Amino acid sequence: MPAPDAESAPAHPRSNASDDLRQIALEQFAAVGFAGASLQQIADEAGYSKSSVLYHYANKEALLEAAIGPAIDRLGALLQRYTERGPTVEARTLFVEEFIDFLLEHRLEVYTFVNQGHSLSGIPVIDRANEFIVTLSHTVCNDNASTEDKMRFGMALGGAAYSLVAGMSFLDADSLGPVDEVRAALIRLIGELLAPVTIPTA
């Protein structure tokens, strides 16, 4: 029997349905929001039936967990490593580099939980993300920090996240430049902003 031609072949290998649906769901959650993305819409975009979506994921919250959960777990691990290294300038410098790498690799996930974290409060995966964001703020800048230090923290890490995800809404994907140049620029700028901030101690 002759092999099917490219036009008649399925758009997605069925064995990868779970991965396909997770990726399409992530793109939809980032583009139109969790509330705006229906299971039917995700199924249509992925080229599957709604029943296929429900076969792999019990509901939309389960799909959200699958879509952004791994990135949130990675953020938690990143914070844990920083804590274990101790409160030093060198540890914070390394943390900044790892945080930028995290943002570059997980732009859609960051965009989703940063922009929708408040409205989706109560969903376990979002609550976990929000807890890590609070931990992140205390890790880099403690409660006794000055108003200026707190603003430096917000502008540094929040600004980096915004710069990387704003392109999905307002700019061309490559408008910021080659990824290596973006990474180097962000590390330098965040380092400059955080340099005067006192390292929190236990």
CB 55 within 8 A of CB 170: no
Residue 114 clears pLDDT 90, i.e. is over it: no
Residue 9 lies in a domain: no
Residues 6+ apart with CB under 8 A from 123: 61, 64
Full DSSP string of 104-120: HH-HHHHHHHHHHTTTT
Helix axes 39-46, 17-32, angle to 10 degrees: 120
Would you put residue 107 in left (φ > 0), alpha (ψ -120 to 50) or beta? alpha
Asked if the structure places residue 62 within a domain, the reply is no
* The overall pTM is greater than 0.85: no
How high is the pLDDT of residue 163? Answer: 79
Residue 43 sits in a domain of what CATH number? Answer: 1.10.10.60
Residue 2 lies in a domain: no
Domain count, the chain: 2
Has residue 3 been placed in a domain? no
> Domain range for residue 166?
68-194
pLDDT band at 67 (very low <50, low <70, confident <90, very high): very high
- Find the angle CA(117)-CA(110)-CA(20) to the nearest 5 degrees: 105
Same domain, 81 and 103: yes
39 and 123 housed in the same domain: no
Task: Report if residue 1 sits inside a domain.
Answer: no
Q: Decide if 78 is inside a domain.
A: yes
Does residue 95 sit in the same domain as residue 180?
yes
Q: Does 18 have pLDDT greater than 50?
A: yes
Asked whether residue 107 is domain-assigned, the answer is yes
Predicted confidence (pLDDT) at residue 13 exceeds the cutoff of 60: no
Residues 48 and 86 grouped into a single domain:
no
Quickly state the pLDDT bin for 118 (edges 50, 70, 90): confident
Assign 138 to helix, strand or coil: helix
How does DSSP classify residue 154? I
Both 76 and 168 in one domain: the answer is yes
Largest CA-CA distance found in the chain, in angstroms, rounded: 74
Which tokens belong to 8? 């008649």
Average pLDDT over residues 167-186: 73
Q: Of 63-67, 120-124, 173-177, 187-191, which range is least confident?
A: 173-177
Instruction: Say if residue 167's pLDDT is above 70.
Output: no
User: Does 73 lie in the same domain as 46?
Assistant: no
42, 79: one domain: no
134 and 183 share one domain: yes
Of 20-34, 95-109, 166-180, minimum mean pLDDT range? 166-180
Weakest mean pLDDT among 23-27, 110-114, 161-165:
161-165
* 3-23: burial string, b at 16+ Cβ within 10 Å, e else: eeeeeeeeeeeeeebeebbbb
